[in-house]
A and B are shown apart, each in its own frame.
Chain A
Amino acid sequence: CKKDFLDREPLDQISDESFWKTPQQLELAVNGVYAFLKAKNTVDMENLGDNTIYPPSSDYQAISSGNYDFTRGTLNSEWVGHYNGIRRCNHFLENYEKAQGVTDVKMKQYAGEVRFMRAHMYTYLVFLFGDVPLITKTLIIGDTEIYGPRTKRTEVVDFILKELDEAATGLPTTYAAADLGRITKGAAFAWKARVALFFEKWSVAETASKAVMDLNLYQLYTAGGTATCYNDLFTYKGKVSNGTNKETILVRRYLIDVYLHNLSRECQVPDQTSRFCPTKALVDSYLCSDGLPIDKSPLYSEATYADIFKNRDPRMKQTILSPGAAWGGRDDGDANADTNANFNTPKWDADKKGCITGTGFYFTKYVEISIVGAVTKDANDIHHIRLAEVLLTYAEAKFEQGTLTQTDIDNTINKLRDRVGMKRMVIAELTAAGLDLRTEIRRERRVELAFEGQRYYDILRWKQGSLLAQDVKGMKKSLVESFNQQFVNTIPTDANGYFVVNTGRRFDVNKNYLWPVPFSQKQQNPNLGQNPNW
Chain B
Amino acid sequence: VLIPIYSQTAFSQSTGTKTVTGIVTDVSANEPIPGATVSSKSSGRATTTDAEGKFSILVTETDDITIRSLGYEDMVVNVAGKSSVTANLKATNLSLNAVVVVGFATQKKANLTGAVSVVNEKVLASRPITAVSTGLQGTVPGLSVVGTRGQPGASHGEVRVRGIGTFNNSDPYILIDGVPGDMNWINPEDIETISVLKDAAASSIYGTRAANGVILITTKKGLPDQKPTLFYSGYFGFQKPTALPKMLGSVDYMTMLGEAQINAGLPKSYTDAQIEIARKGSDPNYFANTDWPNELIKSSASQQNHNINVSGGSKDVQYFVSYGRQNQDGLVVGDQYKFKKDNVRLKVNTARILNILDLEANLSYLDRNQNQPSSNTDVGGGAIYTALTMSPLNPVRFTSGGWGYGGGSSNPVAIATDGGFNNFVSKEFTSSFVGKLHVLKNLDITSQYGIRGTSQKRVTFNRTIQYFDPVTNAVIYTTGSPNSLQNIATTITFKNFSTQIDYRLNLNKNHFKVLTGYQQESNRFDAFSASANNFVDDNVPVLNLGTTNFNVGGDAYQYATQGIFGRLNYDYSEKYLLELNLRYDGSSRYAKGHRWGMFPSVSAGWRFTEESFIKNNTISWLSDGKIRASYGTLGNQFGADGSAYSEYYPYANTIGSVGTAPIGNGSAPTSAFAQTILSNPLLEWEKASMLNIGLDLTFLNNRLSFTGEWFNKKISDIQIKVPQPDILGLAVPDQNAGGMSNKGYELSLGWNDRIKDFKYGITAIFFDIKNKVTDLGGVPPTIGDRIRDIGYPLNAFYGYRTDGLAQEGDFTRNAAGAYIPKFAIMDQYAGKIAPGDIKYRDLNGDGKITADLDREVIGDAFPRYNYSFRLDASWKGIDFTAFLQGVGKNSGYITGPGLHAYNADAAFPQEIHLDRWTPTNTNASYPRFIYKDTRNTAPVSDYWLQNASYLRLKNVQIGYTINPKLTQKLRIQQLRFYASGDNLFTQSNYYYAYDPESPSTSGGLYPQVKTFIFGINIKLQ
Contact = CB atoms under 8 A, between A and B. Distances in A.
B470 to A, nearest CB: 10
Contact of A71 (B407, B548, B724, B851): B851
Nearest to B938: A71
B674 A91 contact: yes
B617 interface: no
A377 B481 contact: yes
Given A8-B559, A269-B407, A88 B729 contact: yes
Given A56-B931, A69-B828, A179-B664, A87 B729 contact: yes
A34 B727 contact: no
Nearest to B733: A141
Contacts of A33: 660, 674
A138 B728 CA distance: 7
A86 to B, nearest CB: 6
B97 to A, nearest CB: 38
Contact of A7 (B406, B588, B667, B780): B588
B696 interface: no
Contacts of A159: none
B556 A12 contact: yes
A138 B269 CA distance: 52
Interface residues of A, number: 99
B286 A352 contact: yes
B270 interface: yes
A496 interface: no
Contacts of A15: 652-655
Contact of B655 (A8, A13, A140, A241): A13
A490 B261 contact: yes
Contact of B286 (A8, A17, A351): A351
Interface stretch (B10-18, B117-125, B472-480, B1001-1009): B472-480
A14 interface: yes
Given A31-B663, A69-B851, A353 B727 contact: no
B267 interface: yes
A24 to B, nearest CB: 9
Interface in A89-104: 90-91
B826 A69 contact: yes
A110 B659 CA distance: 18
B672 A35 contact: yes
Nearest to B668: A258
Contact of B730 (A68, A84, A254): A84
B286 A338 contact: no
A139 interface: yes
B81 interface: no
Contact of B476 (A17, A145, A146, A330): A330
A531 interface: no
Determine the main DSSP class of B at the interface with A. loop
A132 B821 CA distance: 37
B460 interface: no
A55 B266 CA distance: 8
Contact of B558 (A8, A177, A374): A8
A523 B724 CA distance: 10
B586 interface: yes
Interface string A312-333: 0000000000000000001000
A169 interface: no
Contact of B671 (A5, A28, A350): A28
A11 B558 contact: yes
A524 B727 CA distance: 10
B407 A272 contact: yes
A83 interface: yes
A91 B267 contact: no
A373 B269 contact: no
A271 B406 contact: yes
Given A8-B558, A15-B652, A31-B660, A87 B728 contact: yes
Contact of B557 (A1, A10, A525): A10
A377 B477 CA distance: 12
A373 B476 contact: yes
A244 B94 CA distance: 88
A253 B654 contact: no
A178 interface: yes
A252 B660 CA distance: 11
B669 interface: yes
Contact of A524 (B405, B662, B725): B725
B558 A352 contact: no
Contacts of B558: 8, 11
B895 interface: no
B48 to A, nearest CB: 46
B877 interface: no
A178 B678 contact: no
A8 B271 CA distance: 68
B286 A62 contact: no
A253 B670 CA distance: 12
Contacts of B786: none
Contacts of B28: none
Contacts of A487: 271
Interface in B260-297: 261-262, 264-271, 273-274, 286-287
A68 to B, nearest CB: 5
A251 to B, nearest CB: 9
B727 A177 contact: no
Interface in B212-233: none
A29 interface: yes
A79 interface: yes
Nearest to A519: B851
Nearest to A256: B667
Contact of B478 (A135, A180, A374): A374
B662 A258 contact: yes
B831 interface: yes
Interface in A254-288: 254-259, 269-272
A28 B476 contact: no
Given A11-B557, A177-B665, A258-B669, A525 B393 contact: no
Nearest to B669: A258
Contacts of A84: 726, 729-730
B661 A181 contact: yes
A140 B264 CA distance: 47
A209 B927 CA distance: 55
Interface string B698-737: 0000000000000000000000001111111110110100
B728 to A, nearest CB: 5
B675 interface: yes
Interface in A319-376: 330, 338-339, 349-353, 373-375
Contact of A69 (B270, B482, B675, B827): B827
Given A524-B723, A524-B780, A352 B406 contact: yes
Interface in A2-52: 5-17, 19, 25, 28-29, 31-35, 37, 39
Given A34-B672, A272-B407, A68 B828 contact: yes
Contact of B562 (A1, A12, A79, A182): A1
A401 interface: no
A509 interface: no
A405 interface: no
26 contacts: A6-B561, A7-B588, A10-B557, A11-B555, A12-B656, A28-B671, A32-B660, A35-B658, A35-B659, A35-B674, A56-B905, A83-B728, A139-B728, A178-B666, A180-B663, A180-B665, A256-B667, A270-B476, A270-B477, A271-B408, A271-B476, A272-B407, A349-B274, A353-B286, A375-B479, A491-B267
Given A69-B851, A138-B729, A180-B663, 11 more contacts: A57-B933, A62-B828, A83-B728, A135-B727, A139-B727, A141-B680, A252-B661, A253-B663, A374-B478, A519-B852, A524-B723
